[in-house]
Structure 1
Amino acid sequence: MKKDFYEILGISKGAAADEIKKAYRKKAIQYHPDKNPGDSTAEENFKLAAEAYEVLSDPDKKARYDQYGHAAFDGAGGFGGGGFGGGHMNMDDIFSQFGDIFGSAFGGGGGFSGGGQRRVKGSNLRIKVKLTLEEIVNGVEKKIKVKRKIQAKGVSYRTCSTCNGSGQVMKIANTILGRMQTAATCTTCGGSGQILDHKPTGADVHGMIMEDDTVSIKIPAGVVDGMQLKVSNKGNEAPGSNSIPGDLIVAIEELEHEFLKREGENLHYDLYISFPEAALGVSKEIEAVGGKVRIKLEEGIQSGKILRLKGKGIPSLNSYGNGDLLVHVNVWTPKTLNKEQKAFFDKMLTDENFIPSPEKSEKSFFEKVKDMFS
């Protein structure tokens, strides 16, 4: 079982953004590879701390984690371990995204490879994927075409002579506290540690070209509108022989169903029946995900009755089974009557069988609403 993100950073669920950042920096410095060479346990804790910080430092991800737990980021097999934006990060991800938080504690050592060159990560791409209710219930694999920047064939880079491949230049400033040394991004190479050596025809000034790519995205059952999934390394590439691609961020848009309304993991269906059907009872076919379902309505069924079909709703992201399909019975009152029909109902106005006489066990409208949401 995955360890709780708050527990990893040693903070409470109500921790503020500054407290989260401070806790992460403390853990990152404690388990930094430069401080624990060859220690696989420290490296694992270093990655876990970064994973926790990536989620808890982002308000949207934090809200999803608080609501769904790890299930908000797991179960999306095929996302390079990523899932919904959390995922088990690699060292390149960590140094690229968070190196500035603790880099000064190690002389700016975050984000560098063994050769002393900085690993630059390409920018992320964002797309929106529209899903039907059926696709959300069953899960689906989508093949999406994206335009992404890649390094042109034949491009080559050389080490930046200004920063010697570090991507940073050191500056000395005299202050009232004495001489202070600070690190700044190298303006010659833009922080990559490399500059273009050979530019193929058609490439831009960084040696990059645009390419159409088809990306396969496995979307698990139970996702919700607005949720974001991450496909690792399918964003734009970055210049440099030692760079890594960005990620593809996939935003989910749920298409409205013609008959079914979603509420969390439950589905709602409005069923309209006539006076005779309500009085005599009837068998009806209703819409459900994956096909029609036949239900039997008892004699004398009342308008406002809610029938619960267990397990006919949306699968839980936490793998706790499916929600339910709630059928709302509405007895339809005709707006116009012919003479014969009017005569019948005039006759029934004083018939005791037509006088409302709810039983004590009959729930009120507000009690039914309360039961529906409980």
Structure 2
Amino acid sequence: MLRSCCLRCFGLRNADALLWHSELKPHASGEFSIAVVQANSNLEDQSQVYTSPSATYVGVYDGHGGPEASRFVNNHLFPHLHKFSKEQGGLSTDVIKKAFNATEEDFTRLVKRSLPIKPQIATVGSCCLLGAISNGELYVANLGDSRAVLGRRGFDGGKKLVAERLSTDHNVSSEDVRREVEALHPDDSPVVIYCRGVWRIKGIIQVSRSIGDVYLKKPEFHSDPIFQQHGNFVPMKQPLMSAEPSIVTRKLRPQDMFIIFASDGLWEQLSDDEAVQIVSKYPRAGIAKRLVAAAIQEAAKKREVRYKDIKKIERGVRRHFHDDITVIVMYLDHQTTISTTKHKQGTVGSTSPPIDIHSHNSDETMESSSDKIFPNKESRANVLY
């Protein structure tokens, strides 16, 4: 095992320049805390929170193969939600499905345009976790293995909060997901292979749903001579992945205390219950950062190194110890609060971490006006990612 005394060879820094957080911000139903720590050379996790008097949106996008897909989703999913919600008179499961589908189609078009100059973009994808609260209704939609976990009071009146998972993990490490993928591909065996210590679709990828990963969804890419020069041939008779989200809806209840939205970088280290108990025991301010720290502490234990050393390792090398980690804790206050009053007065805002933490480390949130959150068609057309 690699010991802490060996870490100097990786290039240590005096402080954790790869961590960004916002301690506490208001939303229409309460308050939220957000934190991100970067482990990859380029931050592949992207996230955002949009707040208004009528709705709150939360997005966590965990990229793989590169940052392009998660950055693209960060710029396009919320505008599509706003557009379709306005057209259909409010938020619904149909609006969410349309927003996911439009984002997938937009990214596919980008891939086709970019193929001659950047063929590897066909292999880039992103998990996508969305939470939305509107008119007392909670919506959770998911592609991939980021996760939303509710902390609520038990129906038996006990003091300990109960962890309730709200999202579905689309990861073939789950036997149910493996069976689902195999059932969709009866003439393509083996479609799921145990490879490098985990189950993977065609020995390549663990998640079965995403935005992007176009080369695993569009067989025609394998006949493209440009892609053939740069991509690995993957035999398939039909798309191996989908962008169809799992969606859960429920009315918010007085027992519902908070929701943890996080990329799998957190859930690889902490169980649902462990995360919920941490949130229930500590003050609100900085709670997302506390969860990130708890996850890094667990990662350090597994590698038999000290926490204070692991947080100093350079990006890229740090990925050998833990993944990018994004955490958003959304508190649910079932009474009129100062923050609720503020939003009833018409406040609209957006909080989003820097797209790369190493180059922009700040405890200050990046505020966006509504025209930046939902840009018009002309401005959106100029956004590449």
Task: Specify the TM-score bucket, using the shorter chain as the normaliser.
Answer: under 0.3
Structure number with higher helix proportion: 2
Question: 1 or 2 for the larger relative contact order (CA 8 Å, sep ≥6)?
Answer: 2
TM-score normalized by structure 1? 0.24
- Whose radius of gyration is greater, 1 or 2? 1
